Amino acid sequence: MVEEPGQTGVLGRPAENTGDFPALPLPYGQENDEDLALRVYEYVLAHHSVTVPEIAADIGTPGTAIAWIMRTLRELRLVRYCAEQETFTAVDPDSARVELVLPLEAAIYEKRRELALVHRQLGRFANAYKRHLRAQQRGELVVTLENPRELWLRLADSIRRGYGEILTMWPVNGCRNGLLDDTRSLTLEAVQRGVRVRALYPHTARSHPSFRANLQKNRDTGAEVRTSDEVSRFVVIVDREAAFLPAASGEGATSTVTAMYEPVIVDLLRGMYENIWQSACPFDGATTSESALDNVKGSILKMLASGLKDEVIARRVGTSSRTLRRYIAAIMEELDAESRFQAGVAAANAGLVSRTAGLG
């Protein structure tokens, strides 16, 4: 009786003798193993159930070579062996593929899952190490940036390394032209890789022609958007690692930016941002022009009550001094006041100074 062929793993080259068929080299000039294996498979397919001697005799190939080929075909699940009758039958290659490939794909999936887990576990440690190296190389925890190119490089580096949350705050006036668009493109990339992005704007941005479009663009890209009357300057905070804000302490636009990498300062700024965010009003894109205008007036009332000068209020609202005066005149008329002082008293009595209703 012919011994059941063993498993070798190499086409036509068994590693050891197998019973009736000693391990001998193929004759010189014999067809290459793959071509011979195909011929043998086609023969078994055509004859349904055959033995090794029958195959060897019919195709004129030594039995030892046929035995090696049958071992290989069995490894590929292309034939099945019946030990009782010492015969082989052909198997559909699609069935063989399922039997061989599925376990491999499952193993690959599991390894990829393990790899992703390792990346996640090591990722934050790697980021901390890189930040430490950058801080050592930089030797500065607070950097003043006057060159727009250097600002872009540092901002892009921080946002692209962000892994948890990015916080932004944008006044209607007070930031360099193009900085908002540059940052929005970077935060879009961050959102796409799973980073949470929050954006704060002043209430007046809801009725401002260009800034309302910015609110909508931020929302459309996946950022969370709110408005508040506490927004007076731009801020970008990346995780607990970096913060960017105007270098000048006064109102108005500035081209100089301060980058901060001191964790204590960044945490302090995050806390201030969070306080504003909690009392801010979500933007869902459905605010009517009337409600937006009402809240512009509400913001102006609050700033008037705080004693801010007209030019400062105009910059925060994002309008001209002439338009601001028209707003103030309309507010005084609505409150039936003859002076700003009377308007302030009437607004306080009516609870309008702190009102933020009407925002959607």
- Give residue 130's Cα distance to chain centre: 20
154 and 122 inside one domain: no
Is 156 a member of any domain? yes
- Please say which residue of 245, 266, 287 terminates a domain: 287
277 and 147 inside one domain: yes
CA torsion sign, 209 to 293 to 283 to 201? positive
Is 98 a member of any domain? no
What is the structure's pLDDT at 88? 95
Secondary structure class of 200 (helix, strand, coil):
strand
Is 360 a member of any domain? no
What is the structure's pLDDT at 273? 95
What is the structure's pLDDT at 216? 82
The rounded distance, in Å, linking the Cα atoms of 266 and 272 is: 10
- Please say which residue of 244, 272, 287 terminates a domain: 287
What is the structure's pLDDT at 170? 86
Of the candidates 247, 249, 232, which has an alpha carbon nearest to the alpha carbon of residue 318? 232
294 and 278 inside one domain: no
Element (H, E) at 333: helix 321-334
- Please say which residue of 258, 287, 316 terminates a domain: 287
81 and 127 inside one domain: no
Domain of residue 129, residue span: 105-139
205 and 320 inside one domain: no
Q: Print burial letters for 217-247: b (CB count within 10 Å at least 16), e (below 16).
A: bbbebebebbbbbbbbbbbbbbbebbbbbbe
281 and 293 inside one domain: no
Q: CA separation (Å) from 266 to 71, 159, 241, 334, 344?
A: 68, 14, 7, 43, 36
Of the candidates 143, 144, 242, which has an alpha carbon nearest to the alpha carbon of residue 186? 242
* The two structure tokens encoding residue 199: 């954006």
Is 189 a member of any domain? yes
Element (H, E) at 220: helix 209-220
On whether the CB atoms of residues 292 and 357 are closer than 8 A, the answer is no
Q: CA separation (Å) from 214 to 183, 188, 281?
A: 12, 13, 16
On whether the CB atoms of residues 327 and 300 are closer than 8 A, the answer is yes
pTM of the model: 0.53
What is the structure's pLDDT at 174? 57
First to last CA, the chain: 86
* The two structure tokens encoding residue 46: 């055509």
186 and 275 inside one domain: yes
The rounded distance, in Å, linking the Cα atoms of 288 and 206 is: 9
The rounded distance, in Å, linking the Cα atoms of 196 and 225 is: 11
Identify the CATH number of the domain in which residue 279 sits: 3.30.870.10
Identify the CATH number of the domain in which residue 327 sits: 1.10.10.10
What is the structure's pLDDT at 141? 83
225 and 177 inside one domain: yes
279 and 296 inside one domain: no
85 and 126 inside one domain: no
The rounded distance, in Å, linking the Cα atoms of 171 and 235 is: 9
119 and 156 inside one domain: no
**Model confidence over 19-47: pLDDT tens digits?**
343 333 444 344 467 888 899 999 999 99
Is 118 a member of any domain? yes
Is 121 a member of any domain? yes
The rounded distance, in Å, linking the Cα atoms of 282 and 27 is: 82
On whether the CB atoms of residues 189 and 196 are closer than 8 A, the answer is no
Single-letter amino acid, residue 345 = V
Show the low-confidence residues of the chain (pLDDT under 70): 1-32, 129-139, 173-177, 209, 248-254, 285-295, 318, 350-360
Instruction: State the total domains in the chain.
Output: 4
Element (H, E) at 168: strand 165-169
What is the structure's pLDDT at 16? 39
Of the candidates 43, 44, 63, which has an alpha carbon nearest to the alpha carbon of residue 53? 63
48 and 133 inside one domain: no
**Model confidence over 197-247: pLDDT tens digits?**
999 988 878 877 677 787 888 888 888 999 887 887 889 999 988 999 887
